[in-house]
Structure 1
Amino acid sequence: MSMVEMIRDSAGAVAPRGGDLSRIRALRFTRPGFDRAVWRQMAEMGWVGLRVAEDQGGTGLGMAEYCALAEELGRGLAPEPLVPGVFSAALLAACGDAPGLEALLSGEALPLTAWQERADTLEAPGTPGAPRVFVPMAAGATGFLLPVREDGGLALQAAEATPEIVETQDGGHYGTIAAQGTRIGTLPAKALDQALDEAALATAAMLLGVMERSFGMTLDYLRTRQQFGKPIGSFQALQHRAVDLQIQVTLSRASVEAAAATLDAGAAPAARRAAVSRAKVRAAEASLLVTRAAVQLHGAIGYTDEYDVGLYLRKAMVLANQFGSAALHRRRFMANAVDADE
């Protein structure tokens, strides 16, 4: 069994394939919006430190394994903020001896990185004292990490703050914080850029899991729902629609897996950015197309909040813009694709 297959199997402890979504429903629109015991379980399984080197307490696995895990968590709609947690772990590890990494990897703490100062960006200005926006699941943070510009470089600060919370469509939330922190380390050049790229690609992988599961639910419905004495999936028009959706899922998987392979091969920055942006554009747009079609193909029942397929559309609507929208990543791909080919 390959490591990717082992990672997928281990995800079943938190997000079993085809499992009951009652846990997810119970956590919607609550605070902190996820289960802290499940978060600790994720940490104990080594997921938070998946991208951290073994000599720093992590598991030192690649992006192929990380994307496989993110895909399974997307499939199960897990609300625990694994991608933001892995992002914070990457920055603490990059600082070398910065305090807090051990507590994060063990699940005892959850410092979330507040890097974004405006909507729809993949750049971190690092303005000291500036409000930081769109921090996912901020109510569950035990503290915050702030990248701050310092002498032409970046420092990492630790801060305590009470976030201002805005709820999101999927039952989670974003937080805005404004705080001054305490310096805990220096971020090496390009460490933040690479961590943001990895978070964007992991988000694309989550979107892949979201759309694939919603499509699977739709196929099951088309096979069982009867009309005029036969399954509606036997109607040619619906078969053609299903094929179109399958193509979207397949192309998204190819883009995500190709981008993971590019990063694992140690590609140059321009090639890395182009691969990540291509995958994020594909996953963001395809997930919205597939999940909306899934709701529609279920008929009236698909539009009710009590029916699970709608939860996948809500999750796609939130994840599609995390770590950059499709529009942003399309511009970014065009800016980097030429350099990547040279």
Structure 2
Amino acid sequence: MTDLAEIEMIRDSARAFVPPGGDLVRIRGLRFGEAGFDPAIYRQMAEMGWLMLRLPEEEGGLGLGMRAYCALAAVLGAGLVPEPLIHANLAVRLLGAGVGDAVLAGTRIVLPAWQAGFDGLDLAAGVTGAAGGLSGEKRFVYQAAGADAFLVTGAEGGWLVEAGAEGVSLECEGTQDGGHFGSLRLAGVSAERIDLIDPAAALDEAALATSAYLLGVAETAFEMTLDYLRVRKQFDKPIGSFQSLQHRATDLKMQLALLRAGVDMAAGALDAGVDDARRSALVSQVKVRAADTAMLVAREAVQMHGAIGFTDEHDVGLFVRKAMTLANQFGSAAFHRRRFAAMQPYAAA
């Protein structure tokens, strides 16, 4: 369990990577680059211990709880930080003590290649580790071009595959936010099989951290919109004085408060050690709300900003694009609704 002082320390350390005043010069400069993020900044994050957050102390990690992890993710989301910290943490979580010092130090970037289809949380599909070597395809590998190696998952476990190994090819497609997803194709790749540690829990934790990141994105987009409502005038009055816009802003504030409460409740429950079914039900509830709220705030932010909200030059558009990119990561709202509905008695809780 993480106490409040530790959580605030995590937030303070994260704010060092989120410039005050909403300066997004670094973020704009990294968009549509080859890696999509800055490896030097990634190493600094590793030096802060952020890749050890969920690794138990007995395995050389910090052993902090999900509340600390979510607090970190929310601050990074508020600054649109593009470094693939959540995905790298998923790889560390799955590998456990065998992850290696270079990975934890950030000098070797290992990203998980776990997803074969568009939606869901299935680690097993897409590849096989037959006698002829590892073959198949994994898709939607976040910021894949910046990886030194991939943790490829399958029904038999996992394999650590070097990015430049024989039989490995990578095709990347750009995303709205200026990053990319990679399709990793494997043709008879020689790799040693690795046992993965509690994959279902690891994926749920990544989904919850992504929900917290989306919370940070949405809260900042909302604050930017409120600022605009205060300064933009029509008929010699700030448009924020118009009752219809006040009602819409109030609804957004309420939805954000519900999302923040949901993230905190779910993180606290995971830290308390709830059973697997309850954990998954809580994560699905929060991920649905995070995706829906982030997209609602994004749409309203664009509309309330008027024509300028549609332009790439205005910063609010960057938050809209980030919400669009991340809303479906680690399971879309539709997937998590189906998963939650299938969980009895938790669906009625």
For Structure 1 versus Structure 2, the TM-score category normalised by the shorter chain is over 0.9
- Tell me the distance in 2 between the aligned counterparts of 1:167 and 1:102: 31
Return the offset for 1:184. 5.0
1:70 counterpart residue number: 73
Does the Cα contact within 8 Å between 2:148 and 2:162 map onto a contact in 1? Answer: no
Return the offset for 1:186. 1.5
2:117 counterpart residue number: 118
Secondary structure of 1:134 counterpart? strand
Does the Cα contact within 8 Å between 1:252 and 1:286 map onto a contact in 2? Answer: yes
- Tell me the distance in 1 between the aligned counterparts of 2:158 and 2:327: 29
**Of 234, 237, 244, which residue of structure 2 is paired with 1:237?**
244
Secondary structure of 2:21 counterpart? coil
Does the Cα contact within 8 Å between 2:151 and 2:158 map onto a contact in 1? Answer: no
Deviations along 1:228-265, whole A, 9 cap, x unmatched?
Answer: 22211111111111001111111111111111011111
Return the offset for 1:157. 3.7
Structure 2 unmatched ranges of 5 or more: 129-134
Return the offset for 1:119. 1.0
- Tell me the distance in 1 between the aligned counterparts of 2:107 and 2:154: 25
Secondary structure of 1:131 counterpart? strand
Q: Which amino acid aligns with 1:183?
A: E
Deviations along 1:102-139, whole A, 9 cap, x unmatched?
Answer: 11110011111111111101111253122000000000
2:29 counterpart residue number: 26
Q: Which amino acid aligns with 2:207?
A: A
Q: Which amino acid aligns with 1:187?
A: L
1:177 counterpart residue number: 184
**Of 296, 321, 327, which residue of structure 2 is paired with 1:320?**
327
Q: Which amino acid aligns with 1:112?
A: L
Secondary structure of 2:52 counterpart? coil
2:146 counterpart residue number: 140
- Tell me the distance in 1 between the aligned counterparts of 2:277 and 2:58: 29
1:194 is aligned to 2:201: yes
Deviations along 1:288-335, whole A, 9 cap, x unmatched?
Answer: 010110111011111111000011010000100000000000011112
Q: Which amino acid aligns with 1:52?
A: L
Does the Cα contact within 8 Å between 2:149 and 2:160 map onto a contact in 1? Answer: no
Deviations along 1:83-115, whole A, 9 cap, x unmatched?
Answer: 00100110110xx4x3x4311110011111111
**Of 91, 94, 117, which residue of structure 2 is paired with 1:91?**
94
- Tell me the distance in 1 between the aligned counterparts of 2:146 and 2:202: 21
Change (3 A) 1:26 1:279: same
Does the Cα contact within 8 Å between 2:123 and 2:155 map onto a contact in 1? Answer: no
Change (3 A) 1:146 1:224: same
- Counting only pairs closer than 5 Å after superposition, residues 128-167 of structure 1 correspond to structure 2 as 128=128, 129-150=135-156, 154-160=157-163, 161-167=168-174
Q: TM-score under structure 2 normalisation?
A: 0.92
- Tell me the distance in 1 between the aligned counterparts of 2:344 and 2:282: 8
Q: Which amino acid aligns with 1:247?
A: M
**Of 69, 73, 84, which residue of structure 2 is paired with 1:81?**
84
Does the Cα contact within 8 Å between 2:70 and 2:212 map onto a contact in 1? Answer: yes
Q: How much identity, in percent, do the aligned residues show?
A: 54
Question: Superposition RMSD on alpha carbons, in Å?
Answer: 1.6
Does the Cα contact within 8 Å between 2:145 and 2:172 map onto a contact in 1? Answer: yes
Structure 1 unmatched ranges of 5 or more: none
Number of residue-to-residue matches in the alignment? 333
Does the Cα contact within 8 Å between 1:163 and 1:175 map onto a contact in 2? Answer: yes
Return the offset for 1:4. 1.2
- Tell me the distance in 2 between the aligned counterparts of 1:239 and 1:305: 26
Q: Which amino acid aligns with 1:66?
A: Y
